[in-house]
Amino acid sequence: MIHVENLHFGYPKKPTLFSELNWEAPEGTIIGLLGKNGAGKSSFLRILSGILFPLDGAVTVNGFVPRKRQSQFLQELFLVPDESYLHSGLTSLGYEKITSPFYPRFDSARFRKLLDTFEVGPTVRVKDLSFGQQKKVVLAFALSSGCSLILMDEPTNGLDISSKAAFRKELVSVIREDQTVILATHLIKDLENTLDRVVILDQGKIKLDAALSDLADGYYFGTAAQAPREAIYVQSTALGVQYIEPRKSQAQSSINLEMLFQGVVNGADFSEAFHSSKLANL
């Protein structure tokens, strides 16, 4: 579905953001794009959607070049930005009426059901909605769009705890097997139980790209008074340490994405024991 080859991108008078970045993503996965603030997550989504243009390299999505913004490409892609863009005078149903004709597989019944689930009044004007409620309108539309690729930038930003839980549940339940969703976030805990795959972006490179099932097979995430000698990453806690080590005879453990992220950005080497991960600079 997505093919990125030797991507080079940066903003004028600022350091280069991406240099020789390579990545591929199959259809039918929910992918977490993780990175620190300023790592380029939002810019990467905008490049995939054709809003920003590479300085060099090639990007294709569903066989289309995003920068050309062809109608066949756009009707299969929906981007949820971090900021609100809804017109203040619109209602949720007004937004649906204006926007849904651009998406051939849009499901109106699902949209209205999701508005109800997210507790957003369909006839309340945007100007009377909080930022979090406006975000829920756009999230409901994205999940109802039927698009083969849905890009979400910080989707849980502005949502309260119950809304985050409702979003996670609906995301997993309504996405079809042939749809791909990319969730760019630094709020890792909010989404770790919804992901099929995790991609960690740091210093202009994709440092790790791995299926969570492979991570669970390849590594053990543990807690102890002292870390074992085989640990490849260790962090202190009030009661001892948390650690990651290559999995041998242990039962599968739950994946701690926050610890995984910290390990990757702090240089932990996942390549020796986990050959199915895709590391930068290979």
Positive or negative torsion for Cα 125, 127, 133, 134: positive
Contact by Cβ (8 Å): 156, 167: yes
| pLDDT tops 90 at residue 265 | yes
Q: Is 113 exposed, middle or buried (0-12, 13-18, 19+ CB in 10 A)?
A: middle
Q: How far apart are CA 3 and CA 60, in angstroms?
A: 5
SS3 category, 1: coil
Q: Can you give the pLDDT at residue 275?
A: 47
User: What is the CA 275 to chain-centroid distance, rounded?
Assistant: 23
| pLDDT tops 80 at residue 279 | no
Q: How far apart are CA 7 and CA 60, in angstroms?
A: 11
Q: Span 187-213, mean pLDDT?
A: 91
Residue 275, C-beta contacts closer than 8 angstroms, at least 6 positions apart: none
Residue 113: band (very low, low, confident or very high) from pLDDT cuts 50, 70, 90: very high
The string of DSSP codes covering 170-234 is HHHHH--TT-EEEEEES-GGGTTTT-SEEEEEETTEEEEEEEHHHHHHHEEEEEESS--TT-SEE
pLDDT in tens, 45-94: 999 999 999 999 999 999 999 999 999 999 999 999 999 889 999 999 99
Positive or negative torsion for Cα 260, 261, 265, 270: positive
pLDDT in tens, 3-40: 999 999 999 989 899 999 999 998 899 999 999 988 99
Residue 236: band (very low, low, confident or very high) from pLDDT cuts 50, 70, 90: very high
DSSP character at residue 154: S
Fold of the domain built from segment(s) 2-203: Rossmann fold (3.40.50)
Residue 272: band (very low, low, confident or very high) from pLDDT cuts 50, 70, 90: low
DSSP character at residue 36: -
| pLDDT tops 90 at residue 188 | no
| pLDDT tops 90 at residue 277 | no
pTM for this model (two decimals): 0.92
pLDDT in tens, 125-151: 999 999 999 999 999 999 999 999 999
| pLDDT tops 50 at residue 185 | yes
SS3 category, 159: coil
Q: H or E element: which one contains 21?
A: strand 16-25
Q: How far apart are CA 196 and CA 256, in angstroms?
A: 14
Q: What angle do CA 208, 215, 193 make, to 5 degrees?
A: 95
Enumerate the domain spans of the chain.
Answer: 2-203, 210-265
Contact by Cβ (8 Å): 263, 271: no
